[in-house]
């Protein structure tokens, strides 16, 4: 299975005007064999486990993974399957809900900056600072002149993180409206998934077109050289997981990490 160009196929090149109807949520980028994809996923899982250890040992940089998408697009599933097996001591997932009263008393990036992973760690944002140009826009929670300025503020914020050795990978999980309906019906039918269902999800579905337009602007305005967006076709869960896994592995390999040099010769250590 040749996955070398997967990164290039799915990345949003800076300056690109994104129109989501041009991207097929069913696409698998030429990958057709699900069983082979699962084998690659397992190899990637083992690679990620080793590279996570190397990231911690080197302790020079951190990795921030941002997951965004419509309800049921698979943010939780991505975390469960792609990050399976890595050391939980060095990986933290932060889910951003509606801001608290304290958070609202600060700038919109305050709570985000606090959750950025320290050197040696991987941080995963399940939703993120981008809610401040998505939900607030769709539901008119702040004026247009406020949220429209946030694209530039977000880009500057992410550039600061990048310049301070935070590797940022942003994934938009792209599903179709029909696929969302299917997944919502599955939640209703399965007693083990009922708890995930929120009637509010159905209300948000009414704003599908508005969210698509908001996401198009996010992907257009905020895919940068230092923090690129990847549009991940996510109707097929196995391909979603494979694509994200492969992109993370390639990003970590590009860091050319090294184990630190020892200040002693381990061959001369005698343990009695």
pLDDT digit string, tens, across residues 183-204 = 999 998 988 988 888 787 788 9
Instruction: Quote the pLDDT of residue 2.
Output: 67
The model carries a pTM of: 0.95
Distance set, CA 164 to CA 45, 128, 149, 224 (Å): 27, 19, 23, 16
Give the residue-averaged pLDDT of 168-189: 95
Instruction: Quote the pLDDT of residue 10.
Output: 96
Question: Is residue 11 predicted with pLDDT exceeding 70?
Answer: yes
Instruction: Quote the pLDDT of residue 224.
Output: 98
In percent, the amount of the chain with pLDDT more than 70 equals 99
84 vs 23, higher pLDDT: 23
Residue burial 222-259, b: 16+ Cβ < 10 Å; e: rest: bbbeebbbbbbbbbbbebbbbbbbbbbbebbeebeeee
Question: Is residue 4 predicted with pLDDT exceeding 90?
Answer: no
Q: In whole angstroms, what is the distance from residue 159 CA to residue 220 CA?
A: 16
Give the residue-averaged pLDDT of 163-190: 96
Instruction: Quote the pLDDT of residue 263.
Output: 87
Instruction: Quote the pLDDT of residue 201.
Output: 76
Distance set, CA 180 to CA 111, 121, 208, 215 (Å): 30, 33, 11, 16
| Chain centroid to CA 152 | 20
CATH number of 6-254: 3.40.50.300
Unique residue bearing structure tokens 């005007």: 17
Q: In whole angstroms, what is the distance from residue 74 CA to residue 200 CA?
A: 17
Q: In whole angstroms, what is the distance from residue 9 CA to residue 239 CA?
A: 14
In percent, the amount of the chain with pLDDT more than 90 equals 82
**pLDDT tens for each residue of 49-77:** 999 999 999 999 999 999 999 999 999 99
The secondary structure of residue 11, as a DSSP letter, is B
Distance set, CA 91 to CA 84, 118, 173, 200, 240 (Å): 11, 10, 21, 30, 21
Q: Write down the H helix ranges in the chain.
A: 6-10, 34-58, 75-82, 101-104, 110-114, 135-138, 144-147, 150-163, 177-189, 199-205, 208-221, 237-254
Give the residue-averaged pLDDT of 91-103: 95
* Position 19 confidence tier, pLDDT thresholds 50, 70, 90: very high
CA-based angle 72:75:76, to the nearest 5? 95
Query: How confident is the prediction for the chain on average, in pLDDT?
Result: 94
Question: Is residue 120 predicted with pLDDT exceeding 80?
Answer: yes
Question: For residue 212, what are its two tokens?
Answer: 């698509």
201 vs 211, higher pLDDT: 211
Instruction: Quote the pLDDT of residue 32.
Output: 86
Q: In whole angstroms, what is the distance from residue 233 CA to residue 90 CA?
A: 28
Give the residue-averaged pLDDT of 29-52: 92
Instruction: Quote the pLDDT of residue 193.
Output: 85
Q: 185-189: long-range contacts (C-beta < 8 A, 24 or more apart)? A: 187/72
**pLDDT tens for each residue of 241-261:** 999 999 999 999 999 999 999
């Amino acid at each position: 299975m040749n996955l070398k160009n997967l990164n290039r196929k799915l990345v949003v090149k800076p300056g690109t005007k994104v129109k989501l109807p041009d991207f097929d949520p069913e696409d698998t980028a030429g990958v057709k064999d699900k069983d082979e994809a699962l084998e690659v996923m397992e190899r990637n899982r083992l690679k990620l486990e080793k590279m996570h250890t190397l990231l911690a040992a080197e302790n020079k940089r951190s990795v921030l993974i941002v997951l965004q998408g419509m309800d049921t697009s698979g943010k939780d599933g991505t975390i469960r399957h792609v990050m399976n097996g890595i050391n939980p001591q060095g990986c933290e997932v932060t889910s951003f809900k509606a801001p608290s009263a304290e958070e609202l008393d600060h700038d919109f990036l305050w709570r985000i900056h606090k959750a950025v992973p320290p050197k040696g760690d991987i941080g995963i944002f399940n939703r993120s600072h981008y809610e401040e140009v998505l939900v607030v826009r769709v539901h008119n929670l702040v004026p247009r002149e406020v949220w429209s300025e946030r694209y530039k503020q977000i880009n500057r914020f992410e550039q600061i993180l990048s310049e301070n050795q935070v590797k940022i990978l942003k994934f938009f999980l792209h599903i179709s409206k029909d696929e969302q309906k299917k997944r919502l019906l599955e939640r209703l039918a399965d007693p083990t998934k009922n708890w995930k269902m929120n009637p509010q999800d159905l209300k948000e579905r009414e704003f599908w077109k508005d969210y698509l337009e908001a996401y198009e602007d996010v992907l257009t305005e905020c895919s940068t050289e230092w923090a690129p967006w990847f549009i991940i076709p996510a109707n097929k869960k196995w391909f979603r997981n494979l694509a994200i896994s492969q992109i993370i592995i390639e990003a970590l390999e590009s860091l050319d990490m090294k184990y630190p040099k020892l200040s002693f010769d381990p061959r001369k250590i005698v343990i009695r």
